[in-house]
Chain A
């Protein structure tokens, strides 16, 4: 049973436009959400996170939105750049756990020049 779902395996966006990556979750005990970026044959790189007590967190071109009632979060990248092309993973942490993250299967973003 997938607790963190990324229903779009891939997304293609034109350079300069907005990229929106989506993630849905089922566990109401998640208290922290994260986005990671991963290139092939490398470890994931932490991008941005959000606590369940907030609904938005922004860091440069990256903004994460959390809708707790819908159990949905999204990552917005504006403007998108070719170097953003990678697989993006959504992850969540259960309240009280020791940082054990539950990951979605990832969305491959392709930003075309």
Chain B
């Protein structure tokens, strides 16, 4: 069966520091991969998606970037965090491009 791992679960970072969140998927190959963010009191917003190694599409302009160095690995990064980057970050994968299956999320607090 397929599983998705996302870490860390919580993270507190100072403004201006770098960020690296990692997500890996097991039990499948060539999945679509996604990064979503949920800000306080809001729905989930798609940040990036990838249909293959090295292929990244950005949905919203922001202070973040994404990379897919391996088939089942998806990384969310920032060179310098802003206060507005605080939120709940979720990695997801999809086998068909319809349903998406989510990881447990990372609560990021920028202080």
Contact = CB atoms under 8 A, between A and B. Distances in A.
B49 A98 contact: yes
Nearest to A96: B97
Given A34-B99, A101-B100, A41 B46 contact: no
A43 B35 CA distance: 12
Give chain B's interface residue range (CB within 8 Å of chain A). 20 to 34
Nearest to B46: A100
Given A41-B105, A43-B105, A99 B43 contact: no
Interface in B30-87: 32, 34, 41-46, 49, 51, 57, 59
Nearest to A51: B98
Nearest to B9: A41
A93 B6 CA distance: 24
Contacts of A105: 41-43
A106 B43 contact: yes
Given A44-B44, A44-B90, A106-B43, A99 B105 contact: no
Interface of B: 6, 32, 34, 41-46, 49, 51, 57, 59, 88, 90, 92, 94, 96-105, 107
Given A49-B98, A99-B98, 16 more contacts: A34-B99, A41-B88, A41-B107, A43-B6, A43-B90, A43-B92, A43-B102, A44-B44, A46-B100, A89-B44, A98-B97, A99-B34, A99-B99, A99-B100, A103-B43, A105-B41
